[in-house]
């Protein structure tokens, strides 16, 4: 079946540094990918929609300069947390719908990246 | 405004019994899809079942069935014959048809299910 991978699975960094998280669709092309963040014991909150060949669409309240998204190819989207601070510590999950536009397209999730900012 | 509501933060069920996890939603879009996902402690999101707004019959997938009541805007998940491995977080989610962002999916707060031996 389709697989979406994320790298790294876990990262610990110092406050003020930038962290890049990769999301790859391994056996299908994804013109659209989604980035979510999940705080402990909470739900997934959509951060942004990553669009191949165009700018990402950010949800209300998400700082686009803080969370840089680049959809470099049809199989790769990256999320860069710039100047990370402890409050950015969270579980970041990407997803990609296979097909992209149909309501029934199965949305495949990556395994998530746990970011801890010291 | 919150569009997906899961009112049960935690649920307990005895092994081999059935359990219903509640989900209500709100949308003005006549075309939408409803999903249930399972998230074990590992963090991965596992797709369980899908119900389209125009589907006439309730969706079923093995031990999972979706009790879709369109007029009440509810989409409850029923797990039959619960197993210990069903202990996890369960999320109800919705995708609206008019959204032009590739059908982004929004999630409810989740329900943690505990299956007792």
Q: How far is CA B91 from CA A42, A99, A100, B27, in A?
A: 10, 23, 21, 18
Question: Backbone phi, then psi, for A86, in 5-degree steps?
Answer: -55, -35
- Asked whether B14 and B116 are in contact (CB, 8 A), the reply is yes
pLDDT by residue, tens only, chain A of 118 residues: 668 999 999 999 999 999 999 999 998 888 889 999 999 888 999 999 998 888 999 999 999 999 999 998 999 999 999 999 999 999 999 999 876 556 667 788 999 999 999 9
Percentage of chain B exceeding pLDDT 90? 77
| pLDDT number for residue A41 | 85
**How far apart, in Å, do the first and last CA atoms of chain B sit?**
39
Choosing among A3, A32, A56, A103, which should be mutated to test the B contact, i.e. which has the most B CBs within 10 A? A103
| pLDDT number for residue A113 | 97
| pLDDT number for residue B101 | 52
CB-nearest to B50 from A97, A104, A112 is A104
- Beta-carbon contacts of B62 under 8 Å, excluding residues fewer than 6 positions away, are none
| pLDDT number for residue B29 | 86
Calculate how close chain A gets to B85, using CA atoms only, in Å: 19
User: How would DSSP label each residue in A28-93?
Assistant: S--SEEEEEEE-TTS-EEEEEEEETTS--EEPTT--TTTEEEEEEETTEEEEEE-S--GGG-EEEE
Percentage of chain B exceeding pLDDT 70? 93
- Asked whether A83 and A18 are in contact (CB, 8 A), the reply is yes
| pLDDT number for residue A102 | 64
Please report residues of B whose CB lies closer than 8 A to that of A103. 31-33, 52, 95, 97, 103
**Cβ contact (<8 Å) for A114 and B43?**
yes
Q: Which residues of chain B have pLDDT under 50?
A: none
Question: Chain B residues contacting A, CB < 8 Å?
Answer: 31-33, 35, 37, 42-45, 47, 50, 52, 91, 95, 97, 101-110
According to DSSP, the β-strands at A32-38 and A90-97 are: antiparallel
Q: How big is the A-B interface in CB pairs under 8 Å?
A: 64
| pLDDT number for residue A99 | 67
Distance CA B2, CA B81 (A): 32
| pLDDT number for residue B98 | 67
Question: Backbone phi, then psi, for B85, in 5-degree steps?
Answer: -70, -5
**Cβ contact (<8 Å) for A104 and B97?**
no
Distance CA B89, CA B41 (A): 8
Strand order through the sheet with A67-73? A4-7, A19-25, A76-81, A67-73
Question: Chain A residues contacting B, CB < 8 Å?
Answer: 31-32, 34, 36, 42-46, 49, 51, 57, 91, 93, 95, 97, 100-107, 109, 111-112, 114
């Amino acid at each position: 079946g389709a697989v979406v991978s994320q790298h790294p699975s876990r990262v610990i960094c110092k406050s003020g540094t930038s962290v890049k998280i990769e999301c790859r669709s391994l056996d299908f092309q994804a013109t659209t990918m989604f980035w979510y963040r999940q705080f402990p014991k909470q739900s997934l909150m959509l951060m942004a929609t990553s669009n191949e060949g165009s700018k990402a669409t950010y949800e209300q309240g998400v700082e686009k300069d803080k969370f840089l998204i680049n959809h470099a190819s049809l199989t790769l989207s990256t999320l860069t947390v710039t100047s990370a601070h402890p409050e950015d510590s969270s579980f970041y999950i990407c997803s990609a719908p296979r097909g992209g536009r149909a309501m029934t397209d199965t949305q495949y999730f990556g395994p998530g990246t746990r970011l801890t900012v010291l | 405004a919150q569009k997906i509501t899961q009112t049960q933060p935690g649920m307990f069920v005895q092994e081999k019994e059935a359990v219903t996890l509640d989900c209500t939603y709100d949308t003005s879009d006549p075309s939408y899809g409803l999903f249930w996902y399972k998230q074990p402690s590992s963090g991965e999101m596992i797709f369980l079942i899908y119900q389209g707004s125009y589907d006439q019959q309730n969706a079923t997938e093995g031990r999972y069935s979706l009790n879709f009541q369109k007029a009440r805007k509810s989409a409850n998940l029923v797990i039959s014959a619960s197993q210990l491995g069903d202990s996890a977080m369960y999320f109800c989610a919705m995708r609206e048809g008019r959204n032009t962002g590739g059908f982004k999916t929004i999630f409810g707060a989740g329900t943690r299910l505990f299956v007792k031996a």
